[in-house]
Structure 1
Amino acid sequence: MNLRLSHKTLPLQHLVSWKGQQDPSPGDFSYGADPSSLLQCFVWNGSTPHRRSPVSVWTNYLYMDRLDESSIYMALHHAGDEVYMSFGMPTGSLVMLVRMEIHYSGKLNILSWESNMSVWRTRYAEPQHECNMYGYCGPYGYCDTIEIVPVCKCLDGFEPRDGKGWSSGRFSQGCRRKEVLRCTHGDGFLAFSGMKVPDKFLHVPKRSFAECTEECRSNCSCVAYAYSMMSNIDIDGDDTRCLVWMGGLIDMDMENHTQGGENLYVRTRRLQGNMRKMKTLEIALILLAVVSSFLILICVGLIWIYGFRGNQGSKIVWERLMRRDTGNFNEFADSNTEFPIFNFKSIAAATNNFLESNILGKGGFGNVYKGKLEDGKEIAVKRLRVGSVQGAVEFKNEITVISRLQHRNLVKLIGCSIHEDEKLLIYEYLPNRSLDYFIFNDTRKSLLNWPTRFKIIKGVARGLLYLHQDSRLMMIHRDLKASNILLDAEMGPKISDFGTARIFGVHEQERHTNRVVGTFGYMSPEYAMEGVISVKSDVYSFGVLLLEIVSGIKTGTTTTSACARAHNLIDYAWSLRKDGKMMDLIESSIIQGCCLVEALRCIHIGLLSVQDDPDARPLMSWVVASLDNQDIDLPQPKEPMCFSRRNYGGGESHIHDMSLENLKGR
């Protein structure tokens, strides 16, 4: 179906949202062309702009999927009295059903039909971030989507108009020039590449690039211009596109995807003055640079001398550790990655010399201690066991991997400390410890009601989605379990322990390994027995974790009367499903006030995630969408072959440097 953007006699067409999740009557949001220009489209909230598309040159814009490399195009067509937009798959691409919709929340979605799962999968959505909403960063401000967390910034030569408001996240007043323009012959233009150009432009027809530049330069009211060639369509006999701006520049993004992103030329004031003053300034700057360099060298020497003594050569130890061949280390990791190195004595003092009463938890590679730095900041310190070669691998891997990550549902690594054979990892302190501290304890499990558990489930799912799809490189955690889910002051979940994580290449789907690490009960069948790693390995672990959160039963448990005829949690869940008693799986302490629809849906998604066939398990993008939107139909899962029937082992035994020929538990 085409979407009519312009016609001499017929009305324009819009996509219109539903009013609500269950109400299909016309809602507040709509999508269509700008009535004053065919060069851009809007998502409208009533008559107010909600999201604006990039100003188009109407080439085909491709939305590339990083997992299967399929793509979707959008294009403009001019036929007689009508101009319309179309979207679909390029010729020769993998054939699939594609549709576009405007969600009742205001998001514009492009979806494709997943025949193996019988669901619609979101391929593209906008706005992707709050920062992308219309005019969010104010005049002369732009949303930098290249950052891991998109943030508002001012154009070069501009500063926030409201400094305090800007610091606290209020950007609507935007930015102002640091120096007022005087409109002299010396004014120049500063180029900003990769920009979604602003709204409220004037389209000057039939201009070359040089003519477009002069059009703006010769007009003191012109603050910016942009230029492109209309390569795929000729509108009104003009294949050029010269845009100029006479007022504040509003609604700009620095793009990190293939849609939009071009050069924006902003008028700026050049330095004026006679050559003698410029020469004097240059000489002064050179002298300043020489003196500064000399002082810096002296400071660096002093810091090195005292730092070496105070930290006993920790920097050298660090470099040696990062160069050391510690086995089959992740070859995609960056060996030059560094973190702030803390003085060992300061961390020992912060933990009261690693006092036993400060222990927060015990793991396979060492203990985790609570500490407090001199400035009062609380920290969590993982102290690796002295002499553990494998611990050195995990230490190196965790630093290298977590340096690439930044997400609200991932634990933050503050730094590290190395002192002789001591290796410490310093994390942010999370006051509510780990998830297993609550859900597997009879006296504490009631403290996590259903809304809190559902929030934790969705937070973990979003964290995994970031690892699998949205981080700079695809990452597989490999040891997702309840004890590795930490809880902040608001019971928000943060995935921790990346010592066994693996970084995948952009186009890599799976990998084989002879070193299987993880925890029995959470390992997928193909990983535990064949060493096959993929994102579906984490999906399986997430499915087990989801069932644990809903039921309060630890995987591998067979001692309770409820599990008497089941080998493990997955087997027990399937037994209840066959008997039509799925509600019996819900933790009894939370049944009061529990949203049964949500809980049963979570169990269903959990069973989909623990299927034997990796291809049958959903991707985390689908899981997140299905948790947020109950309108998504869930396919029926196939009964998995449980670990106990495959002799995989049981309980919570953690595999340490395990080969497939010689299994060694820890």
Structure 2
Amino acid sequence: MYHSLTVDHIMGFSCCSNLFFVWFILFFYFLQVCISIDTITSSQFIKDPDTLLSKDSNYALGFFSPENSTNRYVGIWWKSKSTNIWVANRNQPLNDSNGIVTISEDGNLVVLNGQKQVMWSSNVSSIASNTTSKFSDNGNLVLLESTTGNILWQSIQQPSDTLLPGMKLSINKRTGKSVKLKSWKSPSDPSDGSFSSSIVERRNILEVFIWNETRPYWRSGPWNGGVFTGIDTMVAAYYNGFQGGDDGEGNINIYYTIPDGKVFLFYNLNSQGILDEKSWDEEKKEVQVTWTSRKSECDVYGICGAFARCSSLSTPICSCLKGFEPLSIQEWNRNNWTGGCVRRTPLQCERVINKTTTTKKDGFLKLHAVKVPDFGEGLAVTPDICRSLCLENCSCTAYSNDAGIGCMSWTGNLIDIEQLQIGGLDLYFRVSHAELDSGGNKTIIITISVIIGTLAISICAYIMWRKNSAKLWHSIKSTRITNNNAFRLFYKGGTSEVHTCDNVNGELSQVKLHELLLFDFEKLATATNNFHLSNKLGQGGFGPVYKGKLQDGQEIAVKRLSRASGQGLEEFTNEVVVLCKLQHRNLVRLLGCCVDGDEKMLMYEYMPNKSLDAFIFDPSKNKLLDWGTRYKIIDGIARGLLYLHRDSRLRIIHRDLKVSNILLDDELNPKISDFGMARIFGGREDHANTNRVVGTYGYMSPEYAMQGHFSEKSDVFSFGVLILEIITGRRNSSCCDNEHALTLLGFVWIQWKEDNVLSFIEPEIYDHSHHKNILRCIHIGLLCVQESAVDRPTMATVISMLNSEVASLPPPNEPAFILRQNMLNPKSPEENESINNVSITEVYGR
């Protein structure tokens, strides 16, 4: 028994020893995998899934698989594999997980597959076999000669699709060899795509281009030694520290640096040919786009053809330069502008060549703040000499000057001119003297007509004023006495602390109330039968809305400010300010207002069919709106928004666009209402921030709801939600009863990805003959609700998409707010309930 016990103990000890030995070996194996080494030698290599870390652990070199792919690649990333910045074997993927990165017998850095086949090599010829690879703290992988430390090869000289700080885009003037970015084929395929980005230096002018195969797709405008003059955000010495020029060895370089302590920032050329500036968000542990080369259609190279200017703020976006007309009117009217424009009147030199005589010389007209055309030539002369040289050269069609570049001149066609909102250069283009004369004559004619018209109107107004002065003065005086101080200042065209708030600015702050019809309280009380409950149309955050009938039989809707309302004079004033200056068939018309002591009321045209939500969310009425009617409503809302954003004399951001704020007239035409939250932009403004977030959750864009940042793209997001609600017949915030359910956006997105759109289309509207059109509208809606504002289309683009059956649409990214709002943000920073003008709707938390 003693012997048996001893053997058992020995066997137990032996098992424990073996187990300990196994754990010991495994410990050192995993330790080897996780150690932050930064060197590769012939004996020290990395194997899938090992990683090589820079000393600061910000960069990593290792194996990864792109989204929706099982292929393995060796790449470099910043903190996260989703932020991949360089790929070694991008055109030779590994099909197994046995790949290694090592130094080969010939001294090159190589990637081998499981069969020891070379899938990628640094491919340096005539090197010693004694080499080492080091991974630096700036994400650069280098191959060094071990004895001398000389750099034989480095990854920053062979970039993939990403430009890092210190990495150079370059071209050698003698050999033509260039270092450029090459896009991925798709987000799941790193192989060479169709797009590339490189610098071009010709005729002493340096620019950055994006190419679609061999065709130009985008360009930066000339480099002046500090900024690219065709990029409107580069208005001064750029904060990223861009540098460029000849290095004295025949190389032309462009690169940028980031000061120590600044946020990590890089430039990525994506598979769609768009160059994005991205920065790392340390809190969210992800990258965010801070600038993009494609903000509008005008960023596409030569979209308007020759002698035309592209402006994203105009409709249509292309217009011929003064003195020019479309080459083909038919194509131009179909929004195909690539044919460009031609001169209306021949130049003087052309007349001389044609043996006709003239004594009047050609001249120049000025375009202010534009991206100057392509194919310019740089000359080191003064502006005066620049003008003279161009004027004396019959082939010179335009010139421009910049302190950093000098004189630039163009011969032949002027291609790719873009109107910038800020920055840019002044361009002087050549026209015949007849065009200069016509401009002067038109000015004189217009001036004389204005003077005569003003005199006539003044005389008529004086006669009418004398005739009705007593009655008019009594009415205005009565109203003035009863107004409170803030409103009285507003009436006089002055300003007040309330009036110059976040909602109102620009020239509308000078609007006069006598431009509107002023109603007295007694007249409105009579029209609404003393605001009888039977005339009540609805209740919103502003207060109740009543139907009224004036003595002449005109029906009106009266919105009465409730004393208990969280909204007050500010929203009331804002709506008067906005609507009295706007006229469009898809905007509700403000007829007048009333201010009598504490009473404040607005009078609108009466909408007999109330609001859109009364139809699409009511099972008993949704059958009344077939697909044709719903499409007409979508198109009408889009045109109303385009008018607000671009076509009106003032640029308006609505900020509370939702289905209950779309009213329907007797023919079911849509009219956008409720401008109490609207913001007016003046000058060249296109976005703003606010500390007071107002509107309705479920329709708010993420950048507005979370950061208070709003722009036209905020309304585009709301419009996208509207489209999906109209098509599905479901509310965004309550499409399902489950507390943890997806929002409508999340539900539609998942079904869209699974190609199951029939599961969410309103059955009452679906017909196979409309399938393609409905599908297109869903696609547009998803494009509008993308999380990043820069990815969303403008309303001009939306209308073009809605009315074009041939134009292909880009794939949408995942929308914002996939989960219901009560899951994401149970307590809002500040939420004003919607103001429902003329409908009774159930209140939902959004």
Q: TM-score range by the shorter chain?
A: 0.5 to 0.7
**Higher normalized contact order (CA 8 Å, seq sep 6+, divided by chain length):** 1
The 1-side partners of 2:517 and 2:568 are apart by 20
Q: Secondary structure at the match of 1:423?
A: strand
Task: Quote how far apart the aligned CAs of 1:505 are.
Answer: 3.0
2:699 to 519, 522, 527: 522
Task: Quote how far apart the aligned CAs of 1:506 are.
Answer: 3.2
2:812 to 627, 633, 637: 637
1:97 to 292, 298, 301: 301
Task: Quote how far apart the aligned CAs of 1:458 are.
Answer: 0.8
Q: Which residue of 2 aligns with 1:344?
A: 521
AA aligned to 1:124 is C
Instruction: Say if 1:550 and 1:587, in contact at 8 Å, map to a contact too.
Output: yes
Instruction: Establish whether residue 330 from structure 1 lines up as the match of residue 500 from structure 2.
Output: no
Instruction: Say if 1:435 and 1:482, in contact at 8 Å, map to a contact too.
Output: yes
Question: After the TM superposition, which residues 13-412 of structure 1 pair with which residues of structure 2 at under 5 Å, given as runs?
Answer: 96-100=300-304, 123-124=317-318, 206=358, 241=433, 262-264=440-442, 300=469, 303-305=472-474, 308-309=477-478, 313-314=482-483, 318-320=487-489, 323-326=495-498, 328-332=502-506, 334-337=508-511, 338=513, 339-386=516-563, 388=565, 390-412=567-589
The 2-side partners of 1:367 and 1:472 are apart by 31
Question: After the TM superposition, which residues 350-499 of structure 1 pair with which residues of structure 2 at under 5 Å, given as runs?
Answer: 350-386=527-563, 388=565, 390-499=567-676
Instruction: Give the direction of change, closer, same or farther, for the CA distance of 1:464–1:521 in structure 2 (3 Å limit).
Output: same
Deviations 1:133-180 (A, max 9, x none): x99xxxxxxxxxxxxxxxxxxxxxxxxxxxxxxxxxxxxxxxxxxxxx
When normalised by structure 2's length, the TM-score is 0.45
1:611 to 765, 786, 798: 786
The 2-side partners of 1:67 and 1:627 are apart by 29
Instruction: Say if 1:408 and 1:494, in contact at 8 Å, map to a contact too.
Output: yes
Q: Which residue of 2 aligns with 1:655?
A: 831
AA aligned to 2:743 is N
AA aligned to 1:418 is V
Instruction: Give the direction of change, closer, same or farther, for the CA distance of 1:69–1:378 in structure 2 (3 Å limit).
Output: farther
The 2-side partners of 1:515 and 1:205 are apart by 67
Deviations 1:96-136 (A, max 9, x none): 4114589xxxxx998899xxxxxxx963269xxxxx9x99x
1:598 to 770, 773, 781: 773
Instruction: Give the direction of change, closer, same or farther, for the CA distance of 1:298–1:447 in structure 2 (3 Å limit).
Output: closer
Deviations 1:84-103 (A, max 9, x none): xxxxxxxxxx974114589x
AA aligned to 2:701 is S
Task: Quote how far apart the aligned CAs of 1:373 are.
Answer: 1.2
AA aligned to 1:644 is L
Instruction: Say if 1:109 and 1:123, in contact at 8 Å, map to a contact too.
Output: no
Task: Quote how far apart the aligned CAs of 1:296 are.
Answer: 5.4
The 1-side partners of 2:319 and 2:666 are apart by 31
The 1-side partners of 2:431 and 2:786 are apart by 54
Q: Secondary structure at the match of 2:832?
A: strand
Greater Rg, structure 1 or structure 2? 2
How much identity, in percent, do the aligned residues show?
42
Deviations 1:176-214 (A, max 9, x none): xxxxxxxxxxxxxxxxxxxx999xxxx9962569xxxxx
Unaligned runs of 5+ in 1: 1-64, 71-93, 103-107, 114-120, 127-131, 136-195, 210-229, 244-259, 271-284, 659-664
2:758 to 576, 580, 583: 583
Instruction: Say if 1:521 and 1:652, in contact at 8 Å, map to a contact too.
Output: no
Deviations 1:429-473 (A, max 9, x none): 122111111000000011000001001111111111111122222
AA aligned to 1:577 is W
AA aligned to 2:662 is I
The 2-side partners of 1:309 and 1:472 are apart by 32
Q: Which residue of 1 aligns with 2:689?
A: 512
Task: Quote how far apart the aligned CAs of 1:293 are.
Answer: 7.4
Task: Quote how far apart the aligned CAs of 1:548 are.
Answer: 0.2
Q: Which residue of 1 aligns with 2:137?
A: none
Q: Which residue of 1 aligns with 2:46?
A: none
1:557 to 715, 734, 748: 734
Task: Quote how far apart the aligned CAs of 1:388 are.
Answer: 4.5
AA aligned to 2:603 is I
Instruction: Give the direction of change, closer, same or farther, for the CA distance of 1:205–1:381 in structure 2 (3 Å limit).
Output: farther
Instruction: Say if 1:233 and 1:239, in contact at 8 Å, map to a contact too.
Output: no
Q: Secondary structure at the match of 2:683?
A: coil
The 2-side partners of 1:657 and 1:441 are apart by 21
When normalised by structure 1's length, the TM-score is 0.57
Instruction: Establish whether residue 567 from structure 1 lines up as the match of residue 736 from structure 2.
Output: no
Task: Quote how far apart the aligned CAs of 1:518 are.
Answer: 0.6
More deviation in 518-527 or 292-301? 292-301
CA root-mean-square deviation: 4.8
**What is the aligned residue count?**
440
Task: Quote how far apart the aligned CAs of 1:404 are.
Answer: 2.7
The 2-side partners of 1:648 and 1:400 are apart by 35
The 2-side partners of 1:109 and 1:433 are apart by 45
Unaligned runs of 5+ in 2: 1-229, 236-297, 321-325, 330-342, 346-350, 362-389, 396-429, 449-454, 835-844
Task: Quote how far apart the aligned CAs of 1:492 are.
Answer: 1.1
